[in-house]
Amino acid sequence: MVLSSPSEKIQTEKFQKEAIQLLKALIRIPSYSLEEKKTGDLLEHFLLRKKVQTFRKGNNVWAFNKHFQSHLPTILLNSHHDTVKPNSSYMRDPFDPVVSSGKLFGLGSNDAGGALVSLMAAFLYFHDTKNMDFNLAYAATAEEEISGMGGIESILDQLGNLTCAIVGEPTGMQMAVAEKGLLVIDCIAKGKAGHAARDEGENALYLAQDDIHWFRNFRFPKTSPWLGPVKMSVTMIEAGMQHNMVPGTCHFTVDIRLNECYSHGEILNTLRQHIKSEVHARSERLGPSFIPEDHPLVQAGKKLGLSSYGSPTTSDQALLHIPSMKLGPGDSARSHTADEYIWLEEIREGIDIYIRLLKQLLKIN
């Protein structure tokens, strides 16, 4: 996709080159969740060198357009600069940003460095523009990979009157208009300990087995056209202390992925009505997300020929209680894989599409 005028093309190419260089610099710095200070420093200094007034809390860095007007609503451009740790299958140095055959390799290049620097480039493109219909806020945030309390959630009250958001994640520059929420629950089946040889007690493992059977077979009736059904998976179980003792308790964990048809409370109420085990939710923060098809953000994307889909993965979108969509260069299938990479052309296209999308929303010719 190409911008309309030669001058715009030259300007955009400048931002594309800077974005790629910035991503290379980010890759060189380990930035595991809770350890993002140095990449936060890099992003902060980069913006300051661009003469952008910059704000910081912890490892979160954010900025507003130069001609910010407090009475206008604000569009948030957000992505994260933390990464997971490299897995043992890496054949390359995860912190060496090598370009080979058009691919930029390195930890965090795809998830979500490409989106992070592409959104920044789009933000800088509009930073000095006057008389826009909306403000722009750019936020490079921490702790996304662990859904930490010190990430985007900790600065939402600093970002102004947010009306909608673009969350930068690798989506192949297609619009994720819905995203599954996450609910992790710990269940405790309570029986009575006893000696196995004398057939004493009430075996908590057997009680848990009945409830696990329910989790495996129960289907919530409401199915989302974007996200499909609610999915429940028992993922951990623990019981017993020794071979000759009937366990009095059994702990098991359930991973639940919600569609937008249900709230956390509705899911929990259903569980408590059907199983005998105690149910304890670890957190109810990560709710499902959905943006209506007629929202201006989605309509702007459709005019550019972008398709829509529902995302099974969870992002910072779950912590935003405003209309938002996930959109960014890269491929979600590459996230957290060995020898992670992003195509340089994906970054260039991402910046181009972000700019064209925002032009429609900001009413700029």
3-class secondary-structure state, position 47: helix
Closest CA to 150 of 243, 82, 223: 82
Q: Cβ(137)–Cβ(126) under 8 Å?
A: no
One-letter amino acid at 307 equals S
Tokens 């691919």 identify what position?
Answer: 103
The Cα–Cα gap between 62 and 139 comes to 4
The Cα–Cα gap between 11 and 4 comes to 12
Eight-class DSSP state of 329: S
**Planar angle of CA 12, 82, 35, nearest 5 degrees:** 135
Closest CA to 188 of 242, 236, 245: 236
Tens-place pLDDT, residues 84-112: 999 999 999 999 999 999 999 999 999 99
Query: How many whole angstroms from its chain centre is CA 141?
Result: 11
Q: Could you please state the CATH topology (level 3) that the domain comprising 181-281 is classified under.
A: Alpha-Beta Plaits (3.30.70)
Q: Cβ(106)–Cβ(98) under 8 Å?
A: yes
- Over range 4-20, report the average pLDDT: 82
Name the strand (E) or helix (H) holding 249.
Answer: strand 249-258
The Cα–Cα gap between 144 and 117 comes to 16
Q: Could you please state the CATH topology (level 3) that the domain comprising 6-179+288-362 is classified under.
A: Aminopeptidase (3.40.630)
The neighbouring-strand residues paired with 78 are: 139, 167
Q: Where are the alpha helices (DSSP H) in 169-228?
A: 204-217
3-class secondary-structure state, position 245: strand
The Cα–Cα gap between 81 and 145 comes to 9
Q: So what's the pLDDT on residue 197?
A: 84
Tens-place pLDDT, residues 126-175: 999 999 999 999 999 999 999 999 999 999 999 989 999 999 999 999 99
The Cα–Cα gap between 68 and 85 comes to 38
The Cα–Cα gap between 228 and 245 comes to 43
User: Is the pLDDT at 195 greater than 70, yes or no?
Assistant: yes
Tens-place pLDDT, residues 209-249: 999 999 999 999 999 999 999 999 999 999 999 999 999 99
- Over range 63-67, report the average pLDDT: 97
Q: So what's the pLDDT on residue 22?
A: 98
Reported as a pLDDT band with limits 50, 70 and 90, residue 314 is confident
Tens-place pLDDT, residues 137-151: 999 999 999 999 999
Q: So what's the pLDDT on residue 5?
A: 67
Spell out the domain ranges in the chain.
Answer: 6-179+288-362, 181-281
User: Is the pLDDT at 365 greater than 90, yes or no?
Assistant: no
Q: Which two tokens stand for residue 242?
A: 């020794």
Closest CA to 354 of 93, 87, 19: 19
Reported as a pLDDT band with limits 50, 70 and 90, residue 2 is very low
- Over range 302-328, report the average pLDDT: 94
